[in-house]
Each structure stands twice: as structure tokens, then as C-alpha cells.
Structure 1
Amino acid sequence: MNQEMGIEKVQEIMVEFGYEELVEATQSFSPSRLIGKGSHGAVYHGILQDNQVVAVKRSSINGVEAQRDNLKKLDNEISILSSLRESSNVIGYLGASHGLSENDKLLVMELMPNGSLHDLLHVAATPPSWPKRVEIAMQIARAVQFLHEGKPLVIHRDIKSANILFDSNWTAKLADFGLAISPADSSSQAAQPAGTIGYLDPSYTSPNKLSTKNDMFSLGVVLLEIISCRKVIDVTKAPASIVEWAVPLVKKQRVVEICDPRIPPPTCMMESTIRRILNVASRCLSEDEDRRPSVGEIVVAMDTCSVERVRLGNITAWTGVLNYLVQLRRRRKLSRKCSRVVYSTQQGDVNSGDVNSTGKVVLLKEILASSRC
């Protein structure tokens, strides 16, 4: 189990914020403070009285039925987040607030100022580097591991690039727990399948098909998206599905064809790491749920990638140092040889007989040229 889990503090007390405090913090939910809209609510930038910067989610109001559904999801998100331990790869829960009516509930979270993975991949002018993509993939895998191996076990059910946000240090964190379920909760047995088309496990067709392997399918899709930067569903391409397009290429080990063409191809060492990630993604996308790996297996595999990259990097560095020392020693030998030849020609003691000044210069140039090799 992730060592992080052993040192985290359980959020035992649900912090209750004053409703008026949050109204003031968001300037009465001003459009100028709107950060974005999720599956069941709008998120606002808030500044509390102590100058702490937060994100405030408010359930969307779109008709009675929709409002009831959105409120239910927000209630669920508050319940799930407040039951989790703190994690460096899951959005931080700060508290909640009940408004003037039972239909007005607010969720207070840490602010994630650098947007979503979806925006980084598909909107940003500068695409992320290969090392950054590998780092993001690892952080997401650890977030899922935290949910699946923690107590209570949580199945997110909506893992996608739009629900992966970046904090001020560009650390990726999993967010939007409106559809999340804890199997320990008896009500989860009746929950209908839910998720986002393109990321949703096709085998999740009924409540009794709920399992952690549903999340593994979604994680596999996100891994493909990170490496390829292709949209999950793109009707302008054939096939439209990223899964149908990428998996056959992965099986043929045609890694470079999957890689985002907007940046230079990965180096040999990085390509090996990306190949490992793509192979992991392909296993996650297996039609047979039993063949999909657990998230623990994925983290171990990706950790191995990181260790191998560091080891190979160190080997490369030491090889460079040794080569430099060998070349330096060779140059010193040639330099001494050069000195002896020049000295002997000046004394007229060269076996070849008469050596004129032109011969001296040519010989000296040849030796110096060799010393530079």
C-alpha cells in the first residue's frame, strides 16, 4: 500500500462554513469569480476572511428534477471527500455550508489554479514535455491507488482528463467525486451505471457490474490521451475512438505513431518508458475485466519505469565521464609524443634522415589532429 496512506490524517470533523461568509468570499457568486462548471455544479474562486483562497462549488439550478439530481451528487461528493484521508493526489476537502434553503448547499475545496489535464492537452498553446507526461501519469495512478486501497474503498466512476486538476505546483489531483461510490455503502448496490462516454467501461452495464476494474478502464483511456494528445472521441478521424485506434498500435509496438506529433519524438530511454505506460494502458482496456491489472500492479510497473530511467541515466552519465577520462589520457600521451618529436627534429636526430621545416610542420599537425579525436 502507498506509504503516503500511513501518515495521512483522517478528516474526522466536517468543517461547517457560514453561508454568508462564502457569499462574501465569492462576491455573491459573481460571474467574474466563476472558474468553471462540473457535472453537477458551478465552481467559484473564493477569498475567505483570513485571505485563504479556496474553490466553492454550488449545485446547478436547472429545473426541479435536475436541481434535485445535482444536489444529490453534491451531497455525495461532500460525503465521499469528508470520509477520505488527505492525499497529495486527490483534491483537498476543506468543508461545506448549508444555505438559506435545503436546496442550497456549498462545497469548499482547495483551489486548483492551473486548470485541468484536458485543457493542458487540448487547449494550451505549449504541449507538455515527455517527462512531465510521465510524471502526470504516475500521479494519477497514485490517486486511483489511494482510492482503491484506502479505507473506505472508493470507486470514482468518472476518471477523465477534465476531472484531473493542477495545483499551483502543477501537481495533478483527481477531482469531481459526484459520481463516486463506496461499495461499503449499502445504497451503492442500487446505483445505476454512470460516467462519461469515451471513458466509461463498456462492460459496466448494470449495478452488479460495479467494480474497481471500471476505474481501471477509464485510467487506461486517460493514459492513452496523455501520450497521444488525441481526443477520446474524435468523429473527424477513423476510428473515432482513441481505444480502437491506439490499442492495435500498442500491440504492434508502434509507439512513435501513438506519440503526440507536436513535440519531438521521445529519446530512446524515454521511448522505453512510454512503451511501458502504453502496455499498461492496453491491459487496463482489456475487454475481459479479469485480465485488467489492479492499480497496485500499475503503480509498481510505472515505478519500475522511473527506476530504470534513473539507472540508465546514471549509467549514461558514468559512461560519459569514463569516456572523457580515456580521451584525456590519450591526449596527454599524444601531447608528450608531440613534444619528443619536436625536440628530436630540432636536434637533427630523426631516423628518416633530413627533415626540413615543412616536414616538421606536417608531422606536428598530424599528431595534434590525432590528439583532438
Structure 2
Amino acid sequence: MLVWTLVATLLLSVSAQTPQTTKGKTITCFCDKCANLECVSDGYCYTSTRIDKETKQIEHDFRCFDKIAHFPPENPAWCKENAHLNPESLLRSAAVACCDNENYCNKALRPQIASMPPQFASMRPQDEKIGDDLSTDTSLIIFVGTTVLVVLLLVLLVIYCGWTRNHKWKKQRPGALFKSNDSMDPQDQQPILGVNNTLRDIIDMTTSGSGSGLPLLVQRSIARQIQLVEIIGKGRFGEVWRGRWRGENVAVKIFSSREERSWFREAEIYQTVMLRHDNILGFIAADNKDNGTWTQLWLVTDFHENGSLFDYLSTRTVDIVGMIRMALSISTGLAHLHMEIVGTQAGKPAIAHRDLKSKNILVKLNGTCAIGDLGLAVHYDDVDGKIDLATNSRVGTKRYMAPEVLDESICENHFDSFKRADVYALGLIFWEITRRCNVGGIYDEYQLPYYDLVPSDPTIEEMRKTVCEGRHRPSIPNRWQSIDALNAMSKVMKECWYHNAAARLTALRIKKTLANLGASEDIKPPQ
């Protein structure tokens, strides 16, 4: 409606600007020397024909003839001039024709000079074509301009509607983005889901390694071809299964129906533009399956047979190189998560994890790690300047909560506060890894942070008294001080868990520090 209103206004404006024929009052004439190719007179429009003295070409002039110049007023003699050709004075040879019957009536007038000599009889007036060009209908020009303007407005309207829809999709009811549509034709996806295509091929084809995830139709097609093999974990949200898709292992996180909002949030965060990274768990698909009795909410990701960092450290140790490689990869993934990427077509918002712990980090075959479980993550919307927070901001795993989260002093309006809470948890994870570092056959048994200060399932109040009031932190064994790499790691973790959040290192600073430590230990890049 906005566009058609603008069109109507423009057309009315054009109509109002076009002079009307008003016999006896004023008349609009074609004027080849005027700025707008027109002039207004209370008398006549006229066209004169003359022969240029130098070029000896016939030319026409188009002008107005005001009433004040009439003589006699009712039948001006000047309008009847038709001088005979005088070879001695070509400039004075002319013919004039006047009219007042309608606007622009002089455009078609071409008065002929009487007694045209033979040498001019066959002459094609050079200005004849010029006169035709100059007499282009002004209304046509206005019409073309109006049409171009309307088309431009339509294009802008389409772009605006597309941007609005893309910007507001996240505000939909959870699950609406992945609303079931069994009428989809699976053949539509055959060009992408080729028989010989691996999941990596499909992801590279559709996201170029940095996009916001696979197209929804592809996600649905993949999810419905997965066979569940065995359950590999359980949590507050539901279960985690190992599945198979065309011979490839995938991890399938199945949410209970009451966790629909968590499922939608995690799928939304995973599909953030430019989130895909080697040290962030690879997202493959999200789908909701209705079997008639209940709805299953699936989240399909890469499968890592080593399991979580918690599982890995519980049964295995690492050497110094492996310790630094793990710590560096985790800090690299967190730095990418925290980073806001601008200057691209869409960009990536800064994201805070808010539930960073060893059970939410996966260990790859090459010894590096990938951060997973983004169900509680929040991002900063730089357009609205808002942080998308749940009603209760005190979320996550109590054992890994930062002091400001435990005593509820965290500044919720400052996004850096959430990133600093992530860094606190990162320091505790470094402590877990470093304890399992085997140097000369000596290492510590695996334990969770604060294992010696709180029960196995502590309450928030117990953690608050230990961390906030008692200012306790995990103990650092004395033997670490005598080993350079372990001593360096202990310094990093201490700078991660300062009580004053503003004094903690940033994830990017931690990444650079560990990269330098890795260079001194001559760590080879993972294969």
C-alpha cells in the first residue's frame, strides 16, 4: 500500500505540473532554447524558418510571441512574414508561422521560405533531426522517470521485508523454524545429497566452511536417514546417541519434549553465521520428529569417539605437549566464540557459553578439543544493543560458576561480564588437564574442581561460601613449580580465576600466551 500511495502522489504531482490549454489566457509553447524546452505566453506560439549565412543550412527556431508585441493585436503582421530569398543577405530571409489553438502547437510547424532557389530546393535541413530530438515529449520523459522511481521503491521494499524477516526469525515460537512438513519432496535434495557425498563434502558445498549451517531441507533429509546405534550419555536435557548416516558416525542429542526451548536455542546458536570453527563442535542438523505419541527433538553433530574431556581425563593421562595442545585448542575455540566479527555482509555476534566445563568439551582423535553444548549460550545483538537473557541469569553448572554469578553481583547489562565468567570456568578446566599431565611417570588422579572442599553435588550456597566468602581456589601442587610448562599453566589458570572479574585475562590473551608456550615446547600442528 505504501508503494501505490507514493505512485499515486507522483502521478498527481506530474499532472499538476503539466500546463493545461487555456484559450484566451495563456498557452504553453515548445521552446528549443529554454531550460525545460517550454515557455508560457499570453499570445502565440511560433516557429520560424531561416537560412544560416555561414553554413547555408535551413534552421528552425521555436519560441513564444507575447501579446504585448502584437500589431495589430487581433491579427499580428509579424506572424505573416514570409520574405523572399535574397542571395545577398541570407540572414534576412525567413518565414514565420504562429498558432494558439493548443499547447505545444508550434512543434509541428515548419514554415517554408518562398521562392526557394534550385541550390536549396533539395536541401535536407540539418536541424530537422535536431528539431525532432528537441521536440521529444516532456510527458514521456516524466513518465519514464516516474516508472524508474516506482521500480526502485519496489526493490527497496522487497529488500527491507527480507531484512526484517531475517532479523526477527529468532523471535518466533521455539520449533517454528523447524516446523514439520512431510510434504517436502526428498528428490529436491538429491543434487546435494549425492550417493558418494560425505557429510564434510555436503557442509563444504553449502556453507563454504563459514556459513550458518546446512539448508533446512538438507538437515531434515539427513536427520531422517540416521539410524540410532547406541546410547552414549544422558543429561538434564535428555539423551545422547551414536548414530550412523551412510556409514559415518554422528552424535544425536535427543531432547525431551519439555526441553523444546533449550533445543531451539542450541540449534539457533549453532547456526549463527560464521560460527563454524575447528574448535567448536560441528553442527550438522536439527529436526523435530512426531511419531504420533510424542515429539522427538533431534540435534545432530559431529561424533568424537574419545568422548568428553571429562571422560578422557578420567581414564587417561597426557604429556606436556598434549596438555598444551588441549588447553590451546579450548582457548582458541572460546576466543572465536567470544569474538564479534564485523565488516562482512552478515558478520558474527559475540557469544558467551555460560556452561563451560569438561563434560561439555569433546576430545578429537588428534588430541585437540571442540567446545559443545551451546544450549545456555547468549549473544550480544549489536543492532538492538541487547543481551538475549532468560529470566533467571544464574544458570550453568554450580561447580564452575564464577564468584559474581554465585553471589548474583554480575552486571547483566554488560556483555563482557558473561565472557569473564567463561574465562573463570576455563581456568578450572586447565587445572583438571594439568593434574593429569604425566611428567616422568608422576601425575595426579583425576578430580573435579573443589573436590576437597564441597560435596559431589554441591548447592549454590555451598559453592558461594567456598568461592565467594572463603575465596578458595583449587590447590596447586608444589611439584608444578619445578616444571616450566606446569608452572606456566598454573600462572595462566590463576589469572583466569581472579575474584575481581575485570582483572581476568581475555580468551584471546590466553590463546596467545599458550601459543607462545606451545612454540617453546615445539608443538607440531595437529594432523
Provide TM-score, normalisation by structure 2: 0.47
Residue 285 of structure 1 deviates from its aligned partner by 0.5
Secondary structure of the structure 2 residue equivalent to 1:195:
coil
> Could you tell me how far apart the structure 1 residues matched to 2:357 and 2:319 are?
20
Distance in structure 1 (CA, Å) of the matches to 2:337 and 2:219:
30
1:71 touches 1:105 (CA, 8 Å); kept in 2? yes
Structure with greater helix share of residues: 1
Give the conservation status (yes or no) of the 8 Å contact 2:312–2:363.
no
Unaligned 5+ runs, structure 1 = 1-6, 61-66, 259-267, 312-373
Deviations 1:179-201 (A, max 9, x none): 11112265327452211122111
Q: 1:127 & 1:172 partners in 2: Cα distance?
A: 15
Q: Write the distance in 1 (CA, Å) between the matches of 2:288 and 2:276.
A: 23
Alpha-carbon separation, structure 2, partners of 1:307 and 1:113: 28
- Any conservation in 2 of the 1:19–1:99 contact (CA below 8 Å)? no
Measure how far apart 1:21 and its partner are: 6.6
Which of residues 81, 89, 95 is equivalent to 2:285? 95
In structure 2, the partner of 1:81 is 270
Bigger strand fraction:
2
Structure 1's 23 and 44: CA in aligned 2 closer, same or farther, altered over 3 A?
farther
- The 5 Å alignment of 1:1-373 reads 8-11=209-212, 13-16=214-217, 22=223, 25-27=226-228, 33-48=230-245, 50-60=246-256, 67-68=257-258, 70-83=259-272, 84-100=274-290, 103-122=295-314, 124=315, 126-150=316-340, 151-184=348-381, 186-188=387-389, 190-204=391-405, 205=408, 208-209=411-412, 210-228=417-435, 229-235=446-452, 244=472, 246=474, 249=476, 255-256=478-479, 271-310=483-522
Whether contact under 8 Å (2:241, 2:253) holds in the other structure is yes
Is the CA contact (8 Å cut-off) linking 1:16 and 1:97 kept in structure 2?
no
Per-residue deviation, 1:23: 6.2
Larger mean CA deviation between 220-229 and 205-214 belongs to 205-214
CA RMSD of aligned residues (A): 3.1
How far did residue 46 of structure 1 move?
Answer: 1.2
Shift in Å at residue 160 of structure 1?
0.6
Structure 1 pair 153–237 and aligned structure 2 pair: CA distance change class (3 A): closer
Residue 8 of structure 1, CA deviation:
4.5
Q: Distance in 2 between matches of 1:289 and 1:18?
A: 40
TM-score scaled by length of structure 1: 0.65
CA spacing shift, 1:303–1:255, aligned 2, 3 Å: farther
- Deviation of 1:165 after TM superposition, in Å, equals 0.7
Give the Cα separation in 1 of the matches to 2:409 and 2:236: 21
Work out whether residues 14 and 82 of structure 1, in 8 Å CA contact, stay in contact via their aligned partners in 2: no
SS of 1:132's partner is helix
Larger radius of gyration: 2
Q: CA deviation at 1:255?
A: 4.7
Overall identity of the aligned pairs, in %:
22
